[in-house]
């Protein structure tokens, strides 16, 4: 059985030599591995040692599972755009214990309290960083409430930083620009979240979010495609407890309707909701218009209007 260290080194070697491979002069094989224990470069087919006494660039410690690697590793967390200092500053723990887990004396506790206070103060050196710190915390709060993945938070933070550097915040609320950046990030990453849903978790009116979103997307040149109603189908169908058959039928209805140009100028959430309502009737899993409207956050009138258009497009009367 191959040793784990040798297997890891083989994977690293194959990644490093993906573009230019070292060939064995004896058998011309490109299956070359690095034996970290011996410091040798070896042909895995014929066993010829191509190089020896190589420098070991790995850590000086050994670990045999994930928890050991985590405890022995001395590097910090990766750089992130979701923190105003990109996570590069230090923090002082609130446990009031030393490195051995022993409680600190009262004199040391008061000293550490003062150090923590000054540490928090010097993390934001000017008004721009305070602005960024507040905006990124708002983005993180709203992203958590919406349940969007980490990648969306990173993209939203980058968009807000660009808006701040281009001086697009002047004359606008920090919360409004932060919410617009999050909405733009959701659209860029293909995460189906409507403007109504984003406005629900925000502290600014929907009208201001829409106006600010249009402004920053135009000024920053964000290339955002129109929202596809099919992106909302799985989420709405799951909330209604509908089967995959209904989802597939709703997707088909949207495709046929879009081919006939019925999607232009229509709300994607309303269009998806009407398609799900129509599909539930066709698949004998009937849901009322009120149930679908509550999940999609649209009115029953919108569902009825879109439903009639889609049924005519499908050739049903």
Opening angle at CA 210, ends 204 and 215, nearest 5: 110
Nearest-angstrom CA–CA distance, 295 and 269: 10
b/e code 282-311 from CB counts within 10 Å (16+ = b):
bbebebebeebbebbebeeebbeebbebbb
Nearest-angstrom CA–CA distance, 6 and 117: 48
Give yes or no for residue 50 having a pLDDT over 50. yes
What is the SS3 assignment for 260?
coil
| Tens-digit pLDDT profile for residues 241-261 | 988 999 999 999 999 888 888
Pick 198 or 51 by higher pLDDT.
198
| Tens-digit pLDDT profile for residues 8-46 | 454 454 545 443 567 888 888 888 888 777 778 888 888
Residue corresponding to tokens 């299956």: 31
End-to-end CA distance of the chain: 68
pLDDT at 12: 52
pLDDT at 1: 40
b/e code 133-170 from CB counts within 10 Å (16+ = b):
eebbebbbebbeebebeeebbbbbbebbbbbbeeebbe
Q: Which pair of structure tokens corresponds to residue 163?
A: 């808006």
Q: Give residue limits of the domains in the chain.
A: 127-220, 229-314
Nearest-angstrom CA–CA distance, 244 and 238: 9
Confidence of residue 178 (pLDDT cuts 50, 70, 90): very high
Q: Are 169 and 196 in contact (CB under 8 A)?
A: no
Confidence of residue 84 (pLDDT cuts 50, 70, 90): confident
H, E, C per residue of 174-214: HHHHHHHHHHHHHHHCCCCCCHHHHHHHCCCCHHHHHHHHH
* 127-220 CATH pick, 1.10.472.10, 3.40.190.10, 3.40.50.620, 3.50.50.60: 1.10.472.10
* 229-314 CATH pick, 1.10.472.10, 1.10.10.60, 1.10.3720.10, 3.40.800.20: 1.10.472.10
Pick 253 or 264 by higher pLDDT.
253
186 is in an annotated binding site: no
Mean pLDDT of 150-154: 92
283 is in an annotated binding site: no
| Tens-digit pLDDT profile for residues 297-306 | 889 999 999 9
Same topology between domain 127-220 and domain 229-314: yes
């Amino acid at each position: 059985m191959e040793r784990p260290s040798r297997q890891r080194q083989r994977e690293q070697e194959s990644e490093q030599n993906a573009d230019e491979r070292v060939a064995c002069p004896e058998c011309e094989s490109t299956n070359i591995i690095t034996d970290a224990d011996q410091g040798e470069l070896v042909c895995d087919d014929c066993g010829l040692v191509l190089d020896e006494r190589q420098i070991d660039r790995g850590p000086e410690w050994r670990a045999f599972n994930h928890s050991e690697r985590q405890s022995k590793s001395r590097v910090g967390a990766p750089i992130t755009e979701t923190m105003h200092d990109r996570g590069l500053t230090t923090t002082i723990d609130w446990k009031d214990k030393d490195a051995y887990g022993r409680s600190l004396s009262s004199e040391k506790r008061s000293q550490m309290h003062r150090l923590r206070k000054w540490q928090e103060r010097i993390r934001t050196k000017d008004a721009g960083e305070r602005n960024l710190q507040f905006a990124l915390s708002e983005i993180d709060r709203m992203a958590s409430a919406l349940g969007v993945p980490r990648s969306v938070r990173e993209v939203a933070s980058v968009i807000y930083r660009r808006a701040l550097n281009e001086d697009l915040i002047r004359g606008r609320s920090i919360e409004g620009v932060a919410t617009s950046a999050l909405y733009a990030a959701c659209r860029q990453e293909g995460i189906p979240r409507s403007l109504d849903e984003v406005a629900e978790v925000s502290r600014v009116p929907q009208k201001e979010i829409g106006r600010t979103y249009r402004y920053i997307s135009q000024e920053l040149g964000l290339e955002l495609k129109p929202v596809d109603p099919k992106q909302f189908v799985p989420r709405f169908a799951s909330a209604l407890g509908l089967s995959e058959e209904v989802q597939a039928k709703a997707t088909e209805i949207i495709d046929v309707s879009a081919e006939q140009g019925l999607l232009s100028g229509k709300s994607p959430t309303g269009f998806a909701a009407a398609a799900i309502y129509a599909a539930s009737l066709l698949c004998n899993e009937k849901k009322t218009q009120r149930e679908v409207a509550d999940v999609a956050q649209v009115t029953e009138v919108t569902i009825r209007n879109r439903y009639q258009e889609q049924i005519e497009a499908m050739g049903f009367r």
